[in-house]
Amino acid sequence: MSTLFDPIKIGDIALSNRIAMAPLTRNKAIAGNLANPLAVEHYRQRATAGLIIAEGAPISAMAQGYLDTPGIHTPEQVAAWRKVTDAVHAEGGRIVVQLWHVGRISHVSLLPDGASPVSSSNQCPTTQTFTREGFIQVSAPRALRDDELPGLIADYRHGARCAMEAGFDGVEVHSANTYLLEQFLRDSVNERSGPYGGSIANRARLLVEVMQAVCQEIGAGRTGVRLSPMTTSNNTPRDSDPQALYGYVVDQLAPLGLAYLHIIEGETGGARHPENAPRFDYGALRRRFPGAWMVNNGYTRAEALEAVASGRADMVSFGRPFVSNPDLVRRLREDAPLTPLLTDKLYGGGAEGYIDYPFLAD
Ligand code: 8OZ
């Protein structure tokens, strides 16, 4: 029987325990959308996580949807991230980066030459993003043409290559939380006809092609993916048949030999089994996936221990607890109290609420 604190090898990446730091957007990037120099210390402090999944990093200028998010597509961004990965590795940690394209969750003020956000369709959600002017309604998107999709897939490939040059141990493709890839998956958003719209197989095609490209570029053993079948974040409705859609997706990803699949259960940052939503059978997906199965979303210590001990999951990721507890692994091991999160210090700003949370005293 494995415990949360046992080592595990996921694909090509050897981890000292089964606790991951979930990707956490903090809007602290500096000019050029470079990782903030403070991120070196922030991630270094958290290097006892079995795996750090660094915050979502836009793979191109068009992939950005929020102010000051650190990209993974220019040489300067690679150099800034390199300082982060070197610091984590010097502490014996492992770190991958999340490859992110926001799709329609963006604003013209954040995009090159005031371009419109892009998506699977031109349907516009009523939701806000964080810009220089604060939180404002996202801009109307335009539907990508089929002939633009090879370039988009190339952007993911380039992001993965940049991640390797920056010294990351791998990447996690962000196909969750209703950003671009999920805007193709769900029939609530994807109104396309042609090879990337309509049937489940067509709506899943872009994700599958992105995953194939990234695996070809850096190796499947360094590639993970994040899914969120039941979330309605960004005011985006669920698919009409999530069980069938995400079951098909997992069946397509299974043969690739991915390092891990990271699943957000329920509403991101909310209930794992939302009331008034149909029950989703996560176990049915897990049984069809041969790689490591990482669960997420508000797990308590007891729930995380149980998930791994029972074999229901191989790993558990923690988001908010890792913000306010750099030594979360030690605190979970010793069942020590957790420092509460200062929610007003999550986005933007500097060192406060970022690198000043306390470690347990010896
Ligand atoms: C919080 C704020 C902005 C973006 C996600 C990347 O939900 C995000 C995100 C989270 O996946």
- Give percent above pLDDT 90 in the chain: 99
* Residue 98 confidence (pLDDT) above 90: yes
- pLDDT digits over 39-64, tens only? 999 999 999 999 999 999 999 999 99
Q: Which of 179, 248, 260, 357 is catalytic?
A: 179
Mean confidence (pLDDT) of the chain? 98
Confidence of residue 131 (pLDDT cuts 50, 70, 90): very high
Name 13's bridge partners: 10
Please state the domain extents for the chain: 8-345
| Residue ID of nearest Cα to ligand 1 atom 2 | 25
Angle at 319 between CA 246 and CA 162, to 5 degrees: 75
Q: What is the arithmetic mean of pLDDT over 247-251?
A: 98
Cα–Cα dist 6/3, whole Å: 5
- pLDDT digits over 310-360, tens only? 999 999 999 999 999 999 999 999 999 999 999 999 999 999 999 999 999
| Residue ID of nearest Cα to ligand 1 atom 9 | 25
Q: How far apart are the first and last CA of the chain?
A: 30
Which listed CATH number (3.40.1160.10, 3.20.20.70, 3.90.380.10, 2.40.40.20) goes with 8-345?
3.20.20.70
What is the radius of gyration, based on Cα positions, of the chain? 19
Say how many Å lie between the CA of residue 73 and the centre of ligand 1: 19
- Give percent above pLDDT 70 in the chain: 100
* Residue 1 confidence (pLDDT) above 90: no
> Which pLDDT score is estimated for 342?
93
Q: Residue 255 contacts by C-beta under 8 Å, 6 or more apart in sequence?
A: none
Q: What is the arithmetic mean of pLDDT over 155-180?
A: 99
* Residue 30 confidence (pLDDT) above 90: yes
Confidence of residue 2 (pLDDT cuts 50, 70, 90): confident
Q: Residue 262 contacts by C-beta under 8 Å, 6 or more apart in sequence?
A: 20, 53, 172, 176, 224, 225, 226, 227, 294, 296, 317
- pLDDT digits over 346-357, tens only? 999 999 999 999
Longest dimension (CA), the chain: 61
Residue 1, Cβ density class (10 Å: 0-12 exposed, 13-18 middle, ≥19 buried): exposed
> Which pLDDT score is estimated for 10?
98
Rounded to two decimals, what is the model's pTM? 0.98
Is 260 marked active-site? Answer: no
> Which pLDDT score is estimated for 274?
94
Closest CA to 268 of 232, 295, 304, 226: 232
Q: What is the arithmetic mean of pLDDT over 253-264?
A: 98
Say how many Å lie between the CA of residue 310 and the centre of ligand 1: 30
Confidence of residue 218 (pLDDT cuts 50, 70, 90): very high
> Which pLDDT score is estimated for 362?
83
Q: What is the arithmetic mean of pLDDT over 131-146?
A: 97
The atom number, within ligand 1, closest to the CA of 102 reads 6
Residue 101, both tokens: 């394209």
Q: What is the arithmetic mean of pLDDT over 101-114?
A: 98
Say how many Å lie between the CA of residue 291 and the centre of ligand 1: 25
* Residue 144 confidence (pLDDT) above 90: yes
Asked if 202 contacts 149 with a C-beta cutoff of 8 angstroms, the reply is: no
> Which pLDDT score is estimated for 62?
98
